[in-house]
Amino acid sequence: MSTIFTKIINREIPSDIIYEDSEIIVIKDIKPEAKIHLLIIPKKEIATINDLDESDSTLIANMFFVAKKVAKDLWISEWYKLKFNVWKLGWQEVMHLHLHLLSNI
């Protein structure tokens, strides 16, 4: 079943998109927990970190490269953290893989 992130990727609902390429989109979190709170989201529907397989290796690496690029573009390269929540007891609400990028600079 598609998640809200797939709807954002497909432009079915609006979002503040700050980066996009063929496999990844980056949006502003709707309920930011820091001054800058972005979500780095693969377009492929992978529910959680636990659902990754070897064929996702490049995609996952690219999520980190996008995080690095976005942080550089926003001039926060030395002031940010990255976070994956995993499953409901691990604070994951949206079952579509995403990497949080947070900064209070």
Q: Does 103 bind ligand AMP (CB under 6 A)?
A: no
Interface map 36-75 toward ligand AMP (x if CB under 6 A): ---x------------------------------------
Strand partners, 42: 24
- Considering only residues 20, 29, 45, 56, which one is a binding residue for ligand AMP as defined by CB under 6 A? 29
How many CA atoms lie within 13 Å of 96's alpha carbon, on the beta-carbon side?
18
The angle at the Cα of 84, spanning 73 to 2, to the nearest 5 degrees, equals 95
- Asked if residue 15 binds ligand AMP (CB under 6 A), the reply is yes
Residue with token string 């954002």: 8
